[in-house]
Each structure stands twice: as structure tokens, then as C-alpha cells.
Amino acid sequence: MRKIVLHEKEMPRQWYNLAADLPTPPQPPLTPDGKPITPDMLAPVFPMNLIEQEVSTQRWIDIPEEVIEILSRWRPTPLRRATFLERHLKTPARIYYKDESVSPPGSHKPNTAVAQAWYNKQFGIKRLCTETGAGQWGSALAFACKLLGLECKVFMVRISFDQKPLRKIMMRIWGAECVASPSPETNAGRGILKEMPDTPGSLGIAISEAIEAAVSDRSGKTRYSLGSVLNHVLLHQTIIGLEAKKQLKMAGIKKPDVIIACAGGGSNFAGLSFPFVCDKIHGEDIAIIPVEPSACPTMTRGPFAYDHGDVACMTPLLAMYTLGHRFVPAPIHAGGLRYHGMAPLVSQAIVEGLLEPRSYDQVKCYEAAMLWASTEGPICAPETSHAIACVIDEAVRAREEGKEKVILFNYSGHGLMDLVGYDKFLSGQLTDYSLPEEALQESIAKIQHLPKVKKQKSGKW
């Protein structure tokens, strides 16, 4: 079977929360002076129903009926088998992938955008503010807000705003207001514009602007929304892995041997893998691999430490693998993987030894994307190419070892709005960039003053 399609009625009715099963709980978020964050401190930024999810340790959380109804426009997504790539590689491995590119904005991101918009609306919120880099998250939230009747405001990093107009147009089609960041609309933006009028902007600046815009609305009807990293975002994405489990069963597969996904903030990786991490905790033998760019090697070279989620230090301190909140990654084309931190739940699973992170250079990733396009057909997102590069390595290894492994990966999105990177690759202008050790040390030195994290693990893996 090349595609395994679930009936709509078989769509999962609950999300899976890994916090219930991790042998050692993640360290709590802190204020800069080391005190635990309480839910009421987050109340100006997020609605209370999502804050409750953020701190929940309940294993299963019901998906509201109306969210299911909206998701069913494109879910369940197909589980496809990459037989043409298998044949090309002459591998005995079977390669399956969850096709999250079939959502209207073209990635996994609307899985949480729809849920977040719904919970905000439920709480009486009228308007959401957010930031976006290349525009994938901004377009997903714009889409969700349009369907649920909320206003949406997106602060888009200046350089992408100027150089990547396509997703900005998508946001406008879905009724969102999209402004270039830094903007003259916030104190944070005005301050930076005064200092550096020609700055290309950064995700950190855009986050600061979006949070400020949300908390400064006197009506109290505006909140902020984040597209990755936080526990409730990862929770909403677990529908991917829960569907995949049912689909593998339909294909007669008891368990996958290898699970692979790219990781920027960690949400598509967590979405596919967490239901299987649960199986691994309970004794299954599965290799679970998050893949990152070598230009932004958070999991493979960064320390596990308390750090802010943004440059302006507006977010609480999170216990995570990090390159330091002042880190500015090289302008590689996988924009969604250029984040300095990693989701606390993913980070704690790495500390436990449950995951095996890997990094890849961008040229190798584009080569993988080209092989994918010429065997399977679709043009993948630059982010997704990192997963594919790793899949190819694992399939070749299975051939060398003569093992009939089952490899499962997340096809997080299509690349039809991101063709410039392919253009550069095709014209030979793309080069590898691995983060120099001095730059890493310099960035990490800037978080030395923050409270120290306890690295706790059960020692079972």
C-alpha cells in the first residue's frame, strides 16, 4: 500500500501529554531571579485554559468537538510509503511518512493554530498577536483566526517581509494584518528603529513586539500566540503520531524501528514521536532522531541550561538545550530551524537518553530534497529536507546491515513558497556553514549569569 488513509471517524479524540510519562519531570519555568513561574504571571500573555494545558500532567486531554471539525478539513493526513525512494536506494527498509503538507497553509503548524485560536475564542479573546520569521507560522495562525472569526496581527521579521512576499500575501488573503518588524507600533520596535534604522530584524525582536502588542491592549481582549516550543503546542501536534500509530497498524506493522523528524522549536518532531516515546519508556526498542541544521546545532552542541525564549528576555526562563538567547544563526534557508532553543519536553527526553539528536549541513539537505523530488515527486520544505537527509542515511545503513527496518518520518511541509533556496542550490551558490566553536562559546557566555539547571535523569536509557 502506497497510502494508508484513515476514516474521518477514526481521527483521535484526545491529545497525548508526554509530561505524564517522562520518568523525570522537566524542570519548571523560572523568573530571571530564579523563582518558579505561577499561572497568574502568564495570564496577561495567554488565556487561562491554555495555561492549564501548559502545566498539565494529565496523560490524555480531550480535543474539543469544534476543533475536530475544523481539523477534519484536511485530517486525518495520509501515511504514505516512499517506495520509489526505497527502490532507488535499493534498501530493504520500508520508509513511511506522515504527509502534513496537505493542510491549507502547507505544514503541520495549523494543528496547533486552530486549537489555540479556539481556546482563545472560548476565553472571550477577540484578537491574537504573533511573530513570524519566513511566514509559515504567521500564515497558519492567520488561517485559523479567519476560520474562527478572530482578528490576527503578525509581526514579520523585516528581511523576510521584504524578500519573501508570498506568505505575506497568504496572511492577507486570510485577513491578518502583517507588519514588518521592527515596527513603529511598539516601544520595543521604536527603540530598535532609533538605534538601527536599517536593521533586518530578528525573530527575537518580533517576539518582543508581539508580546508587547498583546499585553498593552487595554481592553484585555488580546493575547499572544506561539507556534512551537511550549508544552501545549507540542500537545496539539501529537495528533500526528496518534494517527500514524493507527495507520501503521493498518499496514500490519507492530512498531517502527526508526522515527525521524526535523526540529526547530521541536513541535513537528514531538507531534510525530511523543506517542512512540511513550512506547519506548514502556520497553519498546525504537531509535528516535530529531534532526537540526549544523548552522544552528542546539541539541547536538548547545548546553542544557535555563535560558530565555527571546532576545528581549520577555519570556520566562525555560530549562532547555540552547545556543543562548542572543545567538543569531547564519541565514540558512531552513528558516523554521533557526531558533536558539529547543522545547523543554524534547530537551528533557534528550537528557533522559530517549532521543538521538543529529545535525546535517544544508547542501546535503538540498541534495536529499532533490533526490526526493526526482524519486517521490513532491518538493519538500527546506526544513523537511533535514529529516529526509537522515532518512536516506538510515535507509542506506539498513541496506549495508541487511536489515528490514521500518522507518517513519514526518513530512512537515511542502516547499512551494520557499523556492529561492532551491534556486541558489541549483545555481551552485549554496555553501555549508557549520557554527564555529568560538561563536558558540561567545554566545553561551552570555547566559552564564542565569540560574543553573538541575540535569536529572532516571539512568534507564
Minimum CB separation of residue 124 from ligand PLP in Å reads: 28
Closest to ligand PLP by CB, 292 vs 394, is 292
Q: How far apart are CA 263 and CA 228, in angstroms?
A: 10
- Window 54-113: residues binding ligand PLP (CB under 6 A): 107, 109
The reply on whether position 264 binds ligand PLP by CB under 6 A is yes
Cell of 190: 521604536
Which one, 19 or 398, has the nearer CB to ligand PLP? 19
Residue that has been written with the C-alpha cell 564555529 in this structure: 436
**Least distance to ligand PLP from the beta carbon of 345, Å?**
12
Q: Which of 144, 171, 381, 398 binds ligand PLP (CB under 6 A)?
A: 381
Spell out where 329-448 has E strands.
358-360, 406-411
- Are the C-beta atoms of residues 153 and 181 closer than 8 Å to each other? no
CA distance 63 to 15: 7
- Most distant CA atoms of the chain, gap in Å: 64
Minimum distance from residue 421 beta carbon to ligand PLP (Å): 13
* Consecutive H or E run containing 4: strand 3-4
In the bound state with ligand PLP, the residue whose beta carbon lies nearer, of 337 and 444, is 337
Per CB under 6 A, the segment of 158-166, 262-270, 390-398, 442-450 that binds ligand PLP is 262-270
Q: How far, CA to CA in Å, does 57 sit from each of 22, 168, 198, 230, 376?
A: 10, 37, 45, 14, 40
Query: Which range touches ligand PLP (CB under 6 A), out of 141-149, 265-273, 352-360, 445-453?
Result: 265-273
Which of 17, 91, 384, 385 lies at the binding interface for ligand PLP (CB under 6 A)?
A: 384
Range 311-340, binding ligand PLP (CB under 6 A): 336-337
Q: How far is CA 324 from CA 204, 231, 304, 348, 441, in A?
A: 12, 20, 10, 17, 9
Q: Tell whether residue 268 is a contact of ligand PLP (CB under 6 A).
A: yes
Q: Which stretch binds ligand PLP (CB under 6 A): 60-68, 120-128, 261-269, 295-303?
A: 261-269
Min. distance of Cβ 110 from ligand PLP in angstroms? Answer: 10
Which range binds ligand PLP by CB under 6 A, 6-14, 115-123, 211-219, 379-387?
A: 379-387
The residue behind cell 486549537 is: 115
Size of the site for ligand PLP (CB under 6 A): 19
206 forms part of the interface with ligand PLP (CB under 6 A): no
202 is an interface residue for ligand PLP by CB under 6 A: no
- Contacts for 427 with CB less than 8 Å, ≥ 6 apart: none
- Between CA 156 and CA 201 the distance in angstroms is 9
Q: Are 434 and 363 in contact (CB under 8 A)?
A: no
Check binding of 207 to ligand PLP (CB under 6 A): no
Q: Looking only at residues 226 through 245 of this chain, which bind ligand PLP when binding is defined by CB under 6 A?
A: 228
Pick from 272, 265, 262, 267: nearest CA to 96: 272
The alpha carbon torsion through 335, 217, 52, 337 (nearest 10 deg) reads 0
What are the residues binding ligand PLP (CB under 6 A)?
107, 109, 136, 228, 262-269, 336-337, 381, 383-384, 412-413
